[in-house]
Amino acid sequence: SIPDNPTRNSLEMPSQDNRLVTKTQLLDRGQWASKLEFLLAVAGTLVGLGNLWRFPYLCYKNGGGAFLVPYVLFLLACGIPMFLLETAMGQFTSQGCITCWRHFCPLFEGQCKQNSIIAEVPWASCRNTWNTESCVEFDKTNASSNWTANATTPATEFWERRVLGISQGIEEIGSLRWELALCLLLAWILCYFCVWKGVRSTGKVVYFTATFPYLMLVVLLARGLTLPGAMDGLAFYLYPDPTRLVDPQVWMDAGAQVLFSFGICQGSLTALGSYNQYNNDCFKDTFVLCLVNGGSSFVAGFAIFSVLGFMSYEQGLPISEVAASGPGLAFIAYPRAVAMMPLPQLWAICFFVMVILLGADTQFVSLECLMTSVTDMFPTVFRRAYRRELLLLCLCSVCFFLGLLLVTEGGLYFLQLFDHYVCSGNNLLLLSVCQTIAIGWIYGADRLFDNIEDMIGYRPWPIMKYCWLYITPAVCLGTFIFSLVRYKPLKFNKTYVYPTWAYALGWSLGLFCVLLVPLWIIFKVTQMKGTIWQVCTQGPPSEAIPRFRMGMKSSLLNHHKIWLKIQSEHSKVKECVI
């Protein structure tokens, strides 16, 4: 028989005693207005600054085109299967990344708790108050005569002395950079108004924030390819060096980049998927979004290295000396190249607007995912009038004040410390192992296949099941072990060595994220009755998920779709009456 209340986002929700709480008491969770909104939101949160500066750097560092071999293998063995797994979990339960685990394997609920125009661009010359005697303006006519071991470029001094006012080390936090603090405040204010109405507002904003950066990327790519020396830059970017494939570090970099850039084990895929229609084809979406994200990283490399090739041509230096990694690629190397172009103000605006939107899109969609998790944990508290807006204000305020540490004179040292230890691939590798074990072995890969078939009407490729059971955990665990064997302490700009307490802080924060999983397991075991296996496999209460989500036969699927349509019309009529 068809469940009494099968609608996923009903205007009425059952309480523990099966009495109904009407819309006047509990607000609707919301849903994407269209499939395009979901695709743009996911693409917006995945395609970020890492695609712009990290992937191109890793590609040329690890053998050029040869790096694509481990990257594609990790994408097929770990990225796509994990992407489907997390998206399907959210869509099936209509819950965020924390509460969805209550419906699959309650012991692993801790898995997601861890989760201006002027005459000259100011970085083009050394004729500014912040420049030092070491600053050198050079091109290929004076590169060999002026360049010394202590020389610095105008772009480097603008970034480090004017923008950051960077201190001598992490021990010197220094004063607050008020200009950066105001920019941070503005970012969180904009983020608040993009998210405050939930997916209804987020889904509309992503039409601009997720598409405009692609327009800017195409413009910059077209401009870069017309510059002299561009082909040399592309050859440097893609020239394959097969000998690099025997280096375990290349494979570790590929695995970490896939997991991080595809949002694996970060909660965003589950939260965004939870706003889908129940019968949305998440299997096809997985391939579309993975292709978009991977392709964006690859094309961004063309845009970056065509310009770096031009800069190498203008200065008469090898590309390896003008390229940089991390933020330096976006805020030092590329601006230096822009300053050498005709109309540098125009290209600087295009580039930095793209950078701002890439960062902002990831920021507010990630905030939406955090809001989803919190409101799903406490729906009776926060799904009421103005409660969500107050919670969002509190979260934005807390994040702003925490972010003030990063806009001090020593903030960049903390930023790279957090990025290396907290947001590293090591954490994501371990969490991926935990997640595949929980779903593939404890909940059951076949059960999840049944759930997905119930949603989309057909079963995914069998290889996905074997990835969840064997391939993904084995590859992630092996890569994690290699990363421990090849561990090297972080150095800032490859020269500055952090003090011992900074390394301890980084390791502590990184371990804390992972330790939440076993700590939550211990807590749940002490709270629940039965044997360890009974506790592990204990599912949700029967009223938590309608029976069709617990493996209803496919023969009833058409009846269920008809019932969904009837219930949808019934809800609209009821809303009008209320």
**pLDDT tens across 227-259, in order?**
888 898 888 888 888 888 888 888 888 888 898
200: Cβ contacts below 8 Å, ≥ 6 apart: 30, 33
Instruction: Give the C-alpha separation, 406 to 414, whole Å.
Output: 7
Cβ–Cβ contacts within 10 Å for residue 499, how many?
Answer: 11
CA dihedral 463, 464, 466, 467 (to 10 degrees): 120
What tokens appear for 122 in the block?
């100011």
Instruction: Give the C-alpha separation, 503 to 420, whole Å.
Output: 10
Domain ranges, ordered by start, for the chain: 19-115+117-542
5 annotated as ligand-binding:
no
Q: Which residue has the higher pLDDT, 270 or 333?
A: 270
**pLDDT tens across 314-368, in order?**
777 777 776 665 566 667 667 777 777 777 888 888 888 888 888 888 888 888 8
517: Cβ contacts below 8 Å, ≥ 6 apart: 108, 110, 111, 114, 431, 434
With beta carbons less than 8 A apart as the criterion, state whether 234 and 369 touch. Answer: no
358 annotated as ligand-binding:
yes
**pLDDT tens across 292-316, in order?**
999 998 888 888 888 888 878 877 7
The alpha-helical segments, DSSP class H, found in 75-177 are 80-93, 143-146, 154-157
Mean per-residue pLDDT over the chain, rounded: 78
Instruction: Give the C-alpha separation, 235 to 542, whole Å.
Output: 59
Residues of the chain with pLDDT > 70: what percent? 75
Band (116; pLDDT cuts 50, 70, 90): very low
Instruction: Give the C-alpha separation, 425 to 431, whole Å.
Output: 10
431 annotated as ligand-binding:
no
CATH 1.10.10, domain 19-115+117-542, yes or no: no
What's this model's pTM, rounded to 2 decimal places? 0.78
What does the pLDDT read at residue 219? 85
Instruction: Give the C-alpha separation, 208 to 216, whole Å.
Output: 12
**pLDDT tens across 513-569, in order?**
788 888 888 887 787 776 666 666 665 543 444 434 444 444 344 444 444 454 555
265 Rama sector, left if φ>0, alpha if ψ -120 to 50, beta otherwise: left
What tokens appear for 516 in the block?
């939440």
- Helix or strand or coil: residue 133? coil
472: Cβ contacts below 8 Å, ≥ 6 apart: 77, 78, 81, 82, 432, 436
174 annotated as ligand-binding:
no
Q: Does residue 15 register a pLDDT over 50?
A: no
44 annotated as ligand-binding:
yes
Band (48; pLDDT cuts 50, 70, 90): confident
Band (115; pLDDT cuts 50, 70, 90): low
**pLDDT tens across 185-202, in order?**
999 998 898 888 888 888
What does the pLDDT read at residue 166? 79
47 annotated as ligand-binding:
yes
Q: What residues does 135 pair with on adjacent strands? A: 152
293 annotated as ligand-binding:
yes
- DSSP states along 240-294: --GGGGG-HHHHHHHHHHHHHHTTTTSSHHHHHHTTS-TT--HHHHHHHHHHHHH
Q: Does residue 17 register a pLDDT over 50?
A: no
Instruction: Give the C-alpha separation, 308 to 317, whole Å.
Output: 11
